[in-house]
Amino acid sequence: MTAVIEARGLKKSYNNSQALQDVSFTVGTGRIVGLIGPNGAGKTTALKAILGLTQFQGDLKVLGLDPRSRRDELMRDVSFIADVAVLPRWLRVSQALEFVAGVHPKFDRARAMEFLRRTDIRMRSRVRELSKGMVTQLHLALILAIDARLLVLDEPTLGLDLLYRRQFYDTLLNDYFDKERTILVTTHQVEEVENLFTDVIFINRGRIVLDASVEGLAERYVQLTVTPDNAARARELQPFYEHETFGRLVMIFEGRPAAELAPLGELRTPSIADLFVARMAGNTRTEAA
Amino acid sequence: MSTPTAVTWKERVPAAFAWLTRHPSARAFHTLLRREFWEYRSLWMAPLTVGVLLVLSALLTHGAMQIDASEPSEWLDPHVKRSVFALAWWGLTIPHYVVMILVLSFYLLDCLYAERKDRSILFWKSLPVSDGATVGAKLCVAGLIVPLETFLVALITNVLFTIVWDLRAVIGHAPELLVWDTVAFLKTQTLMFMGLMISILWYAPFLGALLLASAWARRNVYLWVTLVPLLTIIVERIAFGTHYIANLLHYRSVGIWGSLHLETAVFGSFTSVGQATVVSIPALYDRVHIGPAFTNIDLWLGLIFTAACVYAAVWLRRYRDDSY
């Protein structure tokens, strides 16, 4: 597994707040990594560092290059959608294609046209005349037609309705992703992208609180729905999170063998969303203590 | 069934410029230039509009150049006609350059500011285009392409205006003033072209300063470039009773023309028309020497200042993190 991104000890502060505090992680080729955290956790700062859009302390190599000094070179192999609403409003669809084709050696115009043909977007339209969903489709068509090695998406579906969100991720998986490419997605809406990721990194208050492959999660974490009379015994095994819903007590354990927990209730692998909530809550509690 | 597709002129024109776009970085730069004209349509629409209005005015004016009937003979002298003719041409270009200055000022102030305001900079920056190339393209548009385009449109306007006016004179609808004179035409256009080239170099510091303001201002870029100079002038005057900044701005506005000794040249180029006198542009052409403009050290200092501004604008676009 070759590393596409290697971050060691990233630090960044805005005014007095620490956006990144000693963040280290590695992203390998052919992975789809979710960078997940609540608003203001440092996700966007980490992405901006990776894309050479901000200054920071620490070591960072993206495709072997330091984004601070070799940004222009890097952008040939990295593409990103910072946000859905950044296409200039005066731009025509035809001009957008013309522009990207003119400046990007790895842009395949026919492929972009193919994406657009499946939508209702007309070549003559200006971005300001398109709905938010259509702007996203256009942006996606432009970016997915670039033969990049790393694609970075920052809250790509923020403010879109369900239909477009689903379509967005379907297109990403079916028409773009392959073993040569790597995708890094930030989001704070975990539920809908659960099945997309091969790896997840949870970030909170500028620190990484979890960094694991999705297969690894199943081995490390167990969610136990405790039968009422076993609650005390289950607590002795030190769950790092417990929660009561509809009168059912749910606990999440890290690194406990299933055999030890099975007699106490019903076992399953926690969903990424459950784990996210547990991790964030646990993290807050630890800090409060 | 394969029929050879006919090559339309639309395909042929880009083919003629293929050499421009063969090399990837030349192609990229060419695309960056085109982008500016997509976004700021006034860059090409304004000169065309002025040209059309001027030609229309030649069609619609009624006796705007009415001759004093008591002295018709002097006006009909070919030498005088040539002077008036050249002067009319010179005057006709003024609206073009006034509009150009307005259009370029707004363009320069907006070009690095708007993309941060609407955050489209994040789209432009997602493509492999260096900040130097982006700012360079804007500099090239404002400092070279638009002035040359304005010069060409003004020249074509001059020719069309003369043709329309003379056609009206032939049918007796206008005074017969504008007689075609190729030497006068070439001399007038050359003089104006030289003036334009010197203007570009001399006024470059303004261009650089506006570009830098555009890259630097977080908001209210128009206020910054108007209020700040105005307030410093007033504060300097009240606090120190001096006028250094006002003088500097004044010198930077008109200083170069002094070094060309234009007044002397103009005085030597008067032609009398009866009671009145007119400046003969062709005579002026023979008298003006542009050499001193280039030996003026302030012109070169201004260019160094411009380079510093452009460098700072590139640096700001590259490294400033406008957090969102």
Where are chain B's structural domains?
Answer: 26-58+67-319
A100 touches chain B (CB under 8 A): yes
CB contact under 8 A, B34 and A98: yes
Q: Which residue of A has its CA nearest to B114?
A: A88
pLDDT digits (tens, 9 = 90+) for A64-85: 999 999 998 999 999 998 876 7
Residue of B38, B39, B125 lying closest to A53 (CB–CB): B125
Instruction: Look at residue A284 in the predicted model and tell me its pLDDT.
Output: 47
- A34: CB partners within 8 A, 6+ apart: A185, A186, A187, A190, A193, A196, A197, A199, A200, A201, A272
Confidence of residue B73 (pLDDT cuts 50, 70, 90): low
ipTM over 0.85: yes
Contacts of B120 in chain A (CB under 8 A): 86-89
Torsions phi, psi for B159 (to 5 deg): -65, -50
B242 secondary structure, DSSP code = -
Beta bridge partners of A125: none
The answer, yes or no, to whether residue A41 has pLDDT greater than 70, is yes
Structure tokens at B288: 């003006």
Full 3-state SS string of A244-283? EECCEEEEEEECCCHHHHHHHEEEECCCHHHHHHHHHHHH
* Whole-model pTM over 0.80: yes
Confidence of residue A260 (pLDDT cuts 50, 70, 90): confident
Q: How far is A85 from chain B (nearest CA, A)?
A: 8
A147 touches chain B (CB under 8 A): no
DSSP string for residues in chain A: --EEEEEEEEEEEETTEEEEEEEEEEEETT-EEEEE--TTSSHHHHHHHHTT-S--EEEEEETTB-TTT-HHHHTTTEEEE--TT-S-TT-BHHHHHHHHHHH-TTB-HHHHHHHHHTSS--TT-BGGGS-HHHHHHHHHHHHHTB--SEEEEESTTTT--HHHHHHHHHHIIIII--TT-EEEEEES--GGGGGG-SEEEEEETTEEEEEEEHHHHHHHEEEEEE-GGGHHHHHHT--SEEEEETTEEEEEEES--HHHHGGGEEEEPPPHHHHHHHHHHHHHHHHH-
pLDDT digits (tens, 9 = 90+) for B270-291: 766 666 666 777 777 777 888 8
Instruction: Look at residue B3 in the predicted model and tell me its pLDDT.
Output: 47
Q: Starting at the earlier edge strand, list the strands of the sheet with A207-213.
A: A78-81, A150-154, A182-187, A32-36, A199-204, A207-213
Residue of A72, A82, A98 lying closest to B126 (CB–CB): A82
Q: How far is B148 from chain A (nearest CA, A)?
A: 24
Least confident range of A25-34, B46-55, B80-89: B80-89
A103 touches chain B (CB under 8 A): yes
Residue of A48, A75, A90 lying closest to B127 (CB–CB): A75
CB contact under 8 A, B123 and A88: yes
Q: Please enumerate, as own/partner, the contacts of B36-40 that have beta carbons within 8 Å and a separation of 24 or more.
A: B36/B107, B36/B111, B36/B137, B36/B138, B36/B141, B37/B141, B38/A90, B38/A91, B38/A92, B38/A95, B39/A88, B39/A90, B39/A91, B40/B107, B40/B110, B40/B111
CB contact under 8 A, A99 and B35: yes
Q: What percent of chain A has pLDDT over 70?
A: 96
Q: Bigger pLDDT: A38 or A128?
A: A128
Using alpha carbons, select from B220, B174, B215, B207 the residue that is nearest to residue B315: B215
As a whole number of Å, the end-to-end CA separation of chain B is: 57
A186 touches chain B (CB under 8 A): no
Size of interface A-B (CB pairs under 8 A): 80
Q: Bigger pLDDT: A187 or B230?
A: B230
CB contact under 8 A, A105 and B128: yes
Instruction: Look at residue B79 in the predicted model and tell me its pLDDT.
Output: 67
As a whole number of Å, the end-to-end CA separation of chain A is: 39
Using alpha carbons, select from A159, A190, A196 the residue that is nearest to residue A176: A196
CB contact under 8 A, B122 and A87: no
Highest mean pLDDT pick, A28-37, A244-253, B77-86: A28-37
Instruction: Look at residue B258 in the predicted model and tell me its pLDDT.
Output: 78
Compute the mean pLDDT over every residue in chain A, rounded to the nearest whole number.
Answer: 86
- In the numeric block, the tokens 């890259």 are attached to B215
Instruction: Look at residue B6 in the predicted model and tell me its pLDDT.
Output: 56
Q: How far is B20 from chain A (nearest CA, A)?
A: 12
A83 touches chain B (CB under 8 A): yes
Residue of A54, A55, A88 lying closest to B120 (CB–CB): A88
Instruction: Look at residue A282 in the predicted model and tell me its pLDDT.
Output: 59
Q: How far is A264 from chain B (nearest CA, A)?
A: 48
The answer, yes or no, to whether residue A283 has pLDDT greater than 70, is no
Using alpha carbons, select from A151, A196, A153, A194 the residue that is nearest to residue A173: A196
